[in-house]
Amino acid sequence: MRILISQEQLERRVSELAREIDRDYLSGRRPDDPLICVGVLKGSVFFVSDLLKEVKTPLAVDFFQTSSYGIRGAHRGELRIKKDIDLSVSGRDVLILEDIVDTGYTLRTVLDLFRFRGARSVKLCALLDKAAAREVEVPIDYCGFPIENAFVVGYGLDFDERYRNLPYIGIYEGEAEP
Ligand code: PRP
């Protein structure tokens, strides 16, 4: 395991992202018109939790989960909703929170879905942008770190459900325990 982004770097950038979000959403926002923040499970949970503690904009939090049909990559773009959000997004500003944009299929579909549901605006905040792996275009409004095309784990990201709780982002280089 090679550390790609340290805990300190994560903390610093997450704070900056919170300030960027407040800069765009806080001014004049009424408490009865909260920013609807939607974390995409499971990878985003650590990011969502750290980020939103620092955001001052009135907000509501919800979670959404998808899964690909069949073998990953075999039916690209076809996503199943495993868990839908509880909140209505009609007429609301929605901010999707994601750990990583890889091929882009997941986020493209999620962004389209919330627009279709009548959100006033839909933006994306992604901690990691693996641009070299992109197959469909996805606009990232708030990006934590551009990263190389490597298999990364930690801070929510897993290898076969392991390593999500690492406090840093590491490059997974093999089967041996780190
Ligand atoms: C990861 C990540 C994104 C998606 C990005 O989730 O959290 O949701 O893949 O990939 P894409 O850009 O190629 O569509 P994953 O399906 O691994 O589930 P998890 O968050 O539960 O680990």
Question: Domain 2-25+32-68+85-171 is in which class?
Answer: alpha beta
Neighbour-count burial for 124-139, b at 16+ CB within 10 Å, e otherwise: bbbbbbbeeeeeeebe
Neighbour count for residue 45 (Cβ, 10 Å): 17
What are the pLDDT digits (tens) for 28-71? 999 999 999 999 999 999 999 999 999 999 999 999 999 876 54
Q: Is residue 40 in contact with ligand 1, taking CB distance under 6 Å?
A: yes
13 and 144 in contact (C-beta within 8 Å)? yes
Is residue 176 scored above 90 in pLDDT? no
Considering 50, 93, 102, 129, which one is annotated as catalytic?
102
pLDDT at 102: 94
pLDDT at 67: 85
* 113 pLDDT more than 60: yes
| Residue of the CA atom closest to atom 7 of ligand 1 | 43
Q: Is the CB of 102 under 6 A from ligand 1?
A: yes
For position 1, what pLDDT does the model report?
Answer: 84
Helix (H, G, I), strand (E, B) or coil at 1: coil
Mean pLDDT value across residues 71-91: 80
Q: From CA 40, how far away is CA 118, in angstroms rounded? A: 19
Q: Indicate if 102 belongs to the active site.
A: yes
Domain spans, the chain: 2-25+32-68+85-171
- Taking alpha carbons only, the member of 110, 105, 112, 111 closest to residue 130 is 105
Residue to probe by mutation, ligand 1, list 41, 44, 67, 99, most atoms within 8 Å of CB:
99
Please, which pLDDT band fits residue 75 given cuts at 50, 70 and 90? low
Sheet strands side by side (includes 169-171): 2-5, 169-171, 152-153
